[in-house]
């Protein structure tokens, strides 16, 4: 027998990592990415929202971030956790839905569209595609 917890995978239960989470924090667990709905201390259960359009700071690295461009998450980035830079430690989490581009080299208020889907790091995506030239 199966018991459905949520109608969709928009929201999932998670256990807060060391240091806990605050409502609105961006959080990634392997291939699951979302935003904490509430505050939770380390080890406490909380709800992670994995779908929607979110207002976040984005850094345009090397090229502008335009509507529909891929957006990557890297928790320890200095200026903004979200960017268009596919580094080895970054994870593709969604796409920009901001109408006006964020200019290359700038950090701006972006709109990030996420949906519950498997996430991979940039390095994994290249490997899965058969190499950088695939």
Q: What is the pLDDT of residues 52-108, one digit of tens each?
A: 999 999 999 999 999 999 999 998 888 899 999 998 888 899 999 999 999 999 999
The pLDDT value recorded for residue 116 is 72
Q: For residue 116, is it within any domain?
A: yes
Strand 91-96 with 70-73, pairing: antiparallel
Q: For residue 45, is it within any domain?
A: yes
Number of domains in the chain: 1
68-90 in b/e burial notation, b at 16+ Cβ within 10 A?
ebbbbbbeebeebbbbbbbeeeb
pTM of the model: 0.79
Q: For residue 134, is it within any domain?
A: no
Site of tokens 């990557």: 72
Q: Using the predicted structure, report yes or no on whether residue 121 has a pLDDT greater than 80.
A: no
Q: For residue 100, is it within any domain?
A: yes
Instruction: Over range 117-122, report the average pLDDT.
Output: 56
Q: Is the distance from CB of 58 to CB of 82 less than 8 angstroms?
A: yes
- The region that residue 84 occupies, defined by phi over 0 for left and psi between -120 and 50 for alpha, beta otherwise, is alpha
The pLDDT value recorded for residue 119 is 56
The pLDDT value recorded for residue 132 is 44
Q: For residue 87, is it within any domain?
A: yes
Q: For residue 93, is it within any domain?
A: yes
**Domain range for 86:** 11-128
Q: For residue 81, is it within any domain?
A: yes
């Amino acid at each position: 027998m199966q018991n459905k917890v949520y109608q969709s995978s928009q929201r999932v239960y998670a256990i807060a990592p060391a240091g806990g989470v605050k409502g609105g924090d961006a959080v990634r667990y392997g291939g699951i990415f979302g935003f904490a709905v509430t505050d939770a201390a380390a080890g406490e259960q909380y709800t992670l929202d994995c779908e929607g359009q979110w207002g976040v700071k984005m850094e345009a690295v090397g090229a502008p971030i335009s509507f529909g461009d891929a957006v990557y998450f890297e928790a320890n980035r200095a200026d903004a956790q979200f960017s268009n830079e596919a580094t080895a430690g970054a994870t593709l989490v969604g796409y920009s839905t901001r109408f006006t581009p964020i200019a290359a080299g700038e950090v701006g208020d972006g709109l990030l569209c996420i949906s519950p889907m498997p996430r991979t790091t940039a390095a994994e995506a290249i490997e899965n595609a058969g190499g950088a030239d695939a």
